[in-house]
Amino acid sequence: MKKDRYLFVLFLFFLLASSAFSAGLLLFDKSEFAARRQKLMEAIPDGAAIILGALPPTGYNEFFQNNDFMYFSDVEIPNAMLIIDGKQKTTTLFFTISESAARNDGIGLELVRNAKDVTGIERVSPIDQFTAALSRLAGQDYVLYTSFKPEELSRECSSEKFGLLQNAMTFNLWDGRLTRELQFVKNLKDRFPQAVVKDCAPMIWDLRSIKSPAEIDLLRKVGRIGVEAHLAMMKATKVGVPEYEMSAAFDYISKKAGGRDIAYNVIISSAENHPYLHYYKHDRILKDGDFIVVDAGPNYNYYVVDISASYPANGKFTPRQREVYEACQAIQKACRAVYRPGITSRDVQPQVNEILMKRGFDINKDLFKIRTMQVGISHNVGMAVHDVSAGPRGPLKPGMVFACDIYAVFAKEDLGVRVEDTVVITETGCENLTPGLPREIAEIEAFMKKK
């Protein structure tokens, strides 16, 4: 009897697992995506938003959907399109893919065969009906909304990508191409000259800048993975070790936990590389006396966190390393104590200074005058490490997720220190989404001694 019950439970487990796999990633409940689409519809009552899906990879790389498309659909199929209709309050998903091509890319057949039920999207059509649908909208005086900013794929950030593509392509005298998105805008205007075409990127960015409870729960999990991967890097750190071994330890733990990628190249700065805050070549062998800054985060189910830690290669702080590190750590803790709804970045520093003075720090020292040693509010974090929209400079709001990032670099001393966590603003204050690293000097030295 017990054996039968065990087999039945095992059968249910595999049934549920296979149905989840066949439906796609199932990042959140269908209602989560429906609520996001509804909010966008409310922002465009005079038109429809056209969201372009990602193209197939051109090499032997894994396919990742772009973040905006994933945010509204949870559909990881190449060459797909979305039309989110603000007038009719409906969404149409367009795609065409064979079952063999879908399975080859790990796309669940249930999604391909029954996308309407799997996704909760009201209408599903083959991609060859997309042009006709656009023509109908343009003929009915719809404003056509689409993002003018580049899509975000894995390890990409939209605003940064836009600047790079403009300089490398659009402004290049020997190239001159538009980005894919701006070419689509041009095509809309050329084919439907009677239609008004507007940028909906700011609306999407506003939505993505406030995380839902479901997103915050997922980010907590991503944070736990990131901390475990950082601990693995610390365990791999000792004099004589190549930096690439530390990076490999982070990659391994991230992948072992189910992360399909990392959020950005693992940054390891030491010695002469401290001034280069995104240095990722991993080309040094650690020496006695080196102080290391490691900046790395995993990508798990399209969400990322940003974590930086600093420690000596030999496991023992010098007096100077201790002085700078203690200041960074104290400022970061004070910032997290001050963050709360309604406060602005301008209001943070005086309150942080008051906490520091009570703890006995001399805030008149040059160390505390460095801009990056003040308010810690760096950039938004979410589906990209430098998430869409500018960093939260105005009044903080519940659901905002950003990097609390304190650092100082002293190039002439071959010294850099960085203490960074990903935090979310709550109704009453803030929560650290990446807790668990040894942060106090005594904790770091004890951890590195026993490893």
Q: Average of pLDDT values for 257-274? A: 97
Residue 403 shares a structural domain with residue 259: yes
The backbone torsions φ and ψ at residue 108, rounded to the nearest 5 degrees and listed phi first, read -65, 135
Residue 70 shares a structural domain with residue 195: yes
Residue 182 shares a structural domain with residue 220: no
Looking at residue 137, its pLDDT comes to: 98
Residue 191 shares a structural domain with residue 42: yes
**CATH number (domain holding residue 399):** 3.90.230.10
Residue 317 shares a structural domain with residue 362: yes
C-alpha span between 139 and 195 (Å, rounded): 8
| Dihedral, 326, 328, 334, 336 alpha carbons, nearest 10 | -130
Residue 196 shares a structural domain with residue 86: yes
Domain total of the chain: 2
Q: Does residue 25 or residue 115 have the better pLDDT?
A: 115
C-alpha span between 253 and 225 (Å, rounded): 8
Q: Which residues contact 286 (CB under 8 A, 6 or more apart)?
A: 237, 238, 239, 240, 241, 242, 243, 270, 292, 313
Residue 257 shares a structural domain with residue 160: no
Among 209, 228, 255, identify where a domain stops: 209
Q: pLDDT above 70 covers what percent of the chain?
A: 94
From 286, 287, 330, 325, select the one nearest 309 (Cα to Cα): 325
Residue 386 shares a structural domain with residue 349: yes
Residues 336-372 have pLDDT tens digits of 999 999 999 899 999 999 999 999 999 999 999 999 9
What are the residues facing 143 on neighbouring strands?
47
Residue 237 shares a structural domain with residue 158: no
Statement: residue 13 has pLDDT above 80? no
The tokens of 5 are what?
């019950």
Among 209, 241, 267, identify where a domain stops: 209
The backbone torsions φ and ψ at residue 209, rounded to the nearest 5 degrees and listed phi first, read -75, -20
CA angle at 214 for the pair 210 and 218, rounded to the nearest 5°: 100
Residues 384-420 have pLDDT tens digits of 999 997 677 779 999 999 999 999 999 999 999 999 9
Q: What is the span of the domain harbouring residue 424?
A: 213-450
Looking at residue 292, its pLDDT comes to: 98
**CATH number (domain holding residue 97):** 3.40.350.10
Among 152, 182, 209, identify where a domain stops: 209
Residue 84 shares a structural domain with residue 233: no
Q: How far is CA 279 from CA 245, 271, 304, 402, in A?
A: 15, 12, 19, 21
C-alpha span between 68 and 178 (Å, rounded): 20
Looking at residue 451, its pLDDT comes to: 63
Looking at residue 94, its pLDDT comes to: 98
**3-state helix/strand/coil string of the chain:** CHHHHHHHHHHHHHHHHHHHHHCCCCCCCHHHHHHHHHHHHHHCCCEEEEEECCCCCCCCCCCCCCHHHHHHHCCCCCCCEEEEECCCCEEEEECCCCHHHHHHCCCCHHHHHCHHHHHCCCEEECHHHHHHHHHHHHHCCCEEEECCCCCCCCCCCHHHHHHHHHHHHHCCCCCCCCCHHHHHHHHHHHHCCCCCEEECHHHHHHHHHECCHHHHHHHHHHHHHHHHHHHHHHHHCCCCCEHHHHHHHHHHHHHHCCCCEECCCCEEEEHHHCCCCCCCCCCCECCCCCEEEEEECEEECCEECCEEEEEECCCCCCHHHHHHHHHHHHHHHHHHHHCCCCCCHHHHHHHHHHHHHHCCCCCCCHHHHCHHHCCCEEEECCCCCCCCCCCCCCCCCCCEEEEEEEEEEEHHHCEEEEEEEEEEECCCCEEECCCCCCCCHHHHHHHHHHC
C-alpha span between 158 and 179 (Å, rounded): 12
Count the Cβ atoms, other than its own, within 10 Å of residue 394: 10
Residues 194-235 have pLDDT tens digits of 999 999 999 999 999 999 999 999 999 999 999 999 999 999
Residue 287 shares a structural domain with residue 141: no
Residues 136-157 have pLDDT tens digits of 999 999 999 999 999 999 999 9
Residue 149 shares a structural domain with residue 237: no
